[in-house]
Amino acid sequence: MTGSKLEIVCGACGAEALLRREAVYEGFRKTGERLICSACGHVYDSEEEVPFKHGEKPRVFTEADRSAEVKIFAPEEHARNCRYCKNYVVNPFTQWCSLHKRDVEATDVCDKFTRKPPPPKKPEAPVKKPGLP
């Protein structure tokens, strides 16, 4: 097994991309998973619809299929964005996931999400140097 990195040839944008999984909520209850193209964000409703690179033939999606997309964002999903993850690194040139060793976007959602701890409070106590006698 190679883990959760699944390569697809996206039926919507045609790119070779990775498959992303997102939890789907109805209200606050998790009801399943969505499968999302990491390149264009196209949502596959079930695993059978996913055009895996090593396996099934790529599917062609029609406009009707696209409009059937349902976008659900539960509050928890927002909080799982890369920008809140402790593996998310920003520098002047890129946004980087130190866990997956690849470029990410602040709005990406990752199943390896680890919440970033709140910034540490700087100790306010002044450090007194021992004075010479």
37 or 109: CB nearest Zn ion: 37
Q: Is the dihedral of CA 105, 108, 113, 118 positive or negative?
A: positive
Residue 85 within binding range of Zn ion, rule CB under 5 A = no
Structure tokens at 1: 């097994």
Q: Using the rule CB under 5 A, is 10 a contact of Zn ion?
A: yes
Q: Is residue 18 within the footprint of Zn ion (CB under 5 A)? A: no
Strand ranges for 38-115 from DSSP E? 43-44, 88-90, 95-97, 102-103
**Residue of 9, 19, 34, 42 that binds Zn ion (CB under 5 A):** 42
Single residue of 7, 13, 45, 74 touching Zn ion by CB under 5 A = 13
Q: Can you give the C-alpha Rg of the chain in angstroms?
A: 21
Task: By CB under 5 A, name the binding residues for Zn ion.
Answer: 10, 12-13, 37, 39-40, 42
